[in-house]
Chain A
């Protein structure tokens, strides 16, 4: 731990706290201005962003737009539109015992916040929370992942150019930088990453009573029912493949991790999957620019090891080729690998798609329930009973029918996990709320004061309170007037 580095961060954070205390970031004009600049950043510099993502992850620019830049533009516009309303106080009613009084909820920024993002969507996972933090009036530090260095560097440069550097900073670096940062006193930390690191972040935050939002991962299952219409099947297959191989090569927290299908439908499913893989990625997927790469050798090795386990390799029905030099893994399908193998017990986070067959599709409910809760559960089905059971009986971060990943762009739905997938949520107004404190303000005047509120206590006063708390207003009046003696 370099003590020089310690004081550098402390200095920068002190500056951010001073900026916050000056009140500048609380002004609506400042927030609006920053959001507009962020919008300009996204529109004017999309090429720089595409280049960085291509370099770090081999992402095609359309994928980069679809998954990162596009949703960010949407979110900034949503925040700009909602900002005034979000910032305003909300009224509430009060009961008789407090009458006459008024009450309101006043949103306030928390102060200086830390956003730690992961490498798979380095822009999306840094800037989406930033939108909320700015809209709520905070000063911010973003710590991007060092595993996506081009993106980290471009992010730092663009933010320094477009946004208020006295209020929003990017601090780059690796594990030790992250460790030092979380020791500081933040007013909130939003962390996207793995459960292992999340524990360290939360433990450090506990020392300062810093509230955290943890966006972690998990194994997101996709239930594929036996669909009869070929249109439906095509639609489902496309969405499944886009949500696996078409999204950062499966390296996404809400990517489909594995499929559950009825035995009698499974071979049809596999056939269709193979066909569409070919139409999406061509005969030689390695040549296709439409599939991303594995982030680094360490993850590549991890994925290769998942495939190398004894019975797992035997269950491969498509793909399976690996190119370490290019960090490329072919879209791979497996049917019924052993449930105890790593590929079925750990989050895959890569382009390997196990297909687990069941006797009846309804068995998928118990299958999912017997495993840790998922960040998202997907079901491609028209069976209303099944849908109902999934909604009411299976707990998960989110639930999506007949599509996948798309819940990420639904502003009105909270995005967050449960259990090992994390806690807290953001997106849309939830981002604003995540970085705000809702302060209750009760106002009274002097006109009316209830003498029975004060000691010395006696039975009459007790009687009044009993009536008031039963919302028995007539009773209160009678006692006050002396008619109803106990």
Chain B
């Protein structure tokens, strides 16, 4: 045990979890000592804190060691084991639906409907799909061979990577925690899930249920905050899947670089929605509302972040949006039970700050109400905020929708491509030319035309970002592939041979090789015959 004697400072950090941070001027491994329980500075024991830090690191090491040994035993490679674990996840969802919904209500105040559809049904359909398809996914894939390697046969065999780490965020803690785990297990890996500490009830329920129903020698939940995550990231993993923001994404990638660990990053960005005038305005409005406020009050990585429409059409669109919002959430949306709360005081303050910014506050055309005690912000629309305002330069991740207006709808494309590539981009139009132009010019993780958020749902489509919005993709078979190594297997025999391959070399051998590598059968004959 190291007894840290460096001078100590105490900072009280008023966030929802009432954590007080004690930091040491000589931070170990760039992480501050962290003591989670409320403790007063006078009687806090700093050496205890350092001990706890060491314990966290030891824990991470021993977890990985155990998982590696389980993986080496070969247990997780069998079809039966993988199926048993997937079935265990189904049991968790079936028997503990209530507990999960309760935890989601506690952490996020998620309406039961949203919680069921986005989280429980999301995981359940993903798990069922894996159960159904696994034997097909596990089969080697035949690969074509050509005259160059004739005679030969080839196939691609999927192998697990080994021991993997899944770090999940707070906004869809069940779905974004368990869906990657499903992929990891289906591919035959051992896995650690590190749920977000900002959703403590779901983190706790996941930990409890996974340890109760699943094979804990191969699937573990490590709860905790920055110190625990840092300790985990110091270990050697065979893959890491991280869902969250770009700042931490960089930290994860840098930690992975030390061990040459491949990483899948699901980040975010400002997902734009462009609305043309020649559309069914009511349906479009509903879909935009559903994608923005109907998904965790805008706290969703693929939620429409901001909207672009023409100056001419804006008033009609705003009127349609406000009228539909009223139909869906009532005259006073603050009273509606169908809207999620903001996750915590820190994000609440962040969002109200965006809204109260000088350049923005006078542009509010709808909503703006907020209640800190309930951590609620009403669906809010702001119109034509300046490009340099904060709200247009960071991912909003909340129930505020800026609307920018342009002269011609085509101008919206220029605005979008000047920003970083988002996780999603949406377009509402019936104009075929605009659709094609949009698809051709705008790069994003995924896109939807005349719809929002739906590209996430389909298990046959890869879900992932590009550029600042992430790297790699998963869902359905793509999850299995993300956690697998595709080993090329080439089978040759001793029958055919191209002696031109071997030394000693000659120009005749060169001629022959040229013909072989050009798939030129006639050329081969000619070379053989010496012409």
Contact = CB atoms under 8 A, between A and B. Distances in A.
State whether these chains interact.
Answer: yes
Interface of A: 26, 60-63, 65-66, 70-71, 73-74, 77, 92-95, 97-98, 101, 103, 105-106, 108, 110-111, 187, 195, 198-199, 202-203, 205-207, 209, 211, 214, 216, 229, 231-232, 235-236, 238, 241-242, 246, 279-282, 288-291, 387, 391-393, 395-403, 406-407, 409-415, 418-420, 422-425, 437-446, 449, 453-457, 461-462, 465-466, 469
B420 to A, nearest CB: 10
A400 B447 CA distance: 41
Contacts of B253: 202, 205-206, 209
Given A209-B250, A400-B492, A444-B449, A414 B116 contact: no
B449 A409 contact: no
B5 interface: no
Interface of B: 74, 77, 111-113, 116-117, 121, 124-125, 140, 143-146, 148-149, 152, 154, 156-157, 159, 161-162, 238, 246, 249-250, 253-254, 256-258, 260, 262, 265, 267, 279-280, 283-284, 286-287, 289-290, 294, 328-330, 336, 338, 435, 439-440, 443-451, 454-455, 457-463, 466-468, 470-473, 485-494, 497, 500-507, 509-510, 513-514, 516-519
Contacts of B519: 74, 77
B154 A93 contact: no
A74 B517 contact: yes
Given A70-B516, A209-B468, A242-B501, 18 more contacts: A26-B440, A73-B518, A101-B454, A187-B467, A203-B257, A205-B257, A246-B503, A392-B77, A399-B488, A437-B466, A439-B445, A440-B447, A440-B458, A442-B451, A444-B451, A446-B279, A449-B286, A454-B290
A209 B443 contact: no
Contacts of A449: 283, 286-287
Q: What 3 A-B pairs are tightest by C-beta distance, nearest first?
A: A413-B488, A62-B505, A290-B503
24 contacts: A62-B500, A62-B506, A62-B509, A73-B518, A95-B458, A103-B460, A108-B466, A195-B260, A202-B257, A235-B494, A280-B503, A387-B491, A398-B490, A402-B491, A402-B494, A403-B152, A410-B146, A410-B488, A413-B143, A414-B156, A443-B448, A454-B290, A456-B330, A456-B338
Contacts of B514: 65, 70
Given A202-B256, A410-B154, A440 B446 contact: yes
A438 B435 CA distance: 18
A403 B144 CA distance: 17
Given A414-B486, A455-B111, A209 B290 contact: no
A391 B444 CA distance: 38
A297 B502 CA distance: 27
A291 B502 CA distance: 11
A439 B444 contact: yes
A238 B502 contact: yes
Nearest to A401: B491
B458 A103 contact: yes
A397 B121 CA distance: 37
A241 B294 CA distance: 66
A442 B503 contact: no
Residue in B466, B501, B519 with the greatest tally of chain A CB atoms within 10 Å: B501
A439 B454 CA distance: 14
A460 B328 CA distance: 16
Contacts of A98: 454, 457-458
B326 to A, nearest CB: 11
Given A396-B487, A411-B146, A439 B446 contact: yes
Given A202-B260, A457-B111, A438 B473 contact: yes
Specify the main secondary structure of chain A where it touches its partner: mixed
Given A214-B260, A449-B286, A236 B494 contact: yes
A414 B487 CA distance: 7
Contacts of A97: 457
A235 B265 CA distance: 47
Nearest to A291: B503
A224 B221 CA distance: 44
A288 B112 CA distance: 78
A282 B455 contact: no
A209 B265 contact: yes
Given A442-B451, A465-B121, A454 B489 contact: no
A105 B462 contact: yes
A66 B502 CA distance: 10
Contacts of B140: 391
A110 B466 contact: yes
Nearest to B74: A393
A209 B467 contact: yes
Contacts of A195: 260
Contact of A391 (B157, B162, B451, B513): B157
Contact of A281 (B246, B256, B503): B503
A71 B517 contact: yes
Nearest to A195: B260
A66 B116 CA distance: 60
Contacts of B117: 465, 469
Contacts of B485: 395, 418
Contact of B502 (A65, A242, A396): A242
B501 A456 contact: no
Contacts of A419: 162, 238, 260
A346 B203 CA distance: 43
B517 to A, nearest CB: 4
A174 B523 CA distance: 42
B143 A410 contact: yes
Contact of A198 (B162, B254, B260, B472): B260
Nearest to A398: B488
B440 to A, nearest CB: 8
A92 B286 CA distance: 25
Contacts of B451: 101, 442-444
Which of A61, A282, A412 has the most chain B CB atoms inside 10 A of its CB? A412
A399 B262 contact: no
B283 A446 contact: yes
Contacts of B290: 453-454
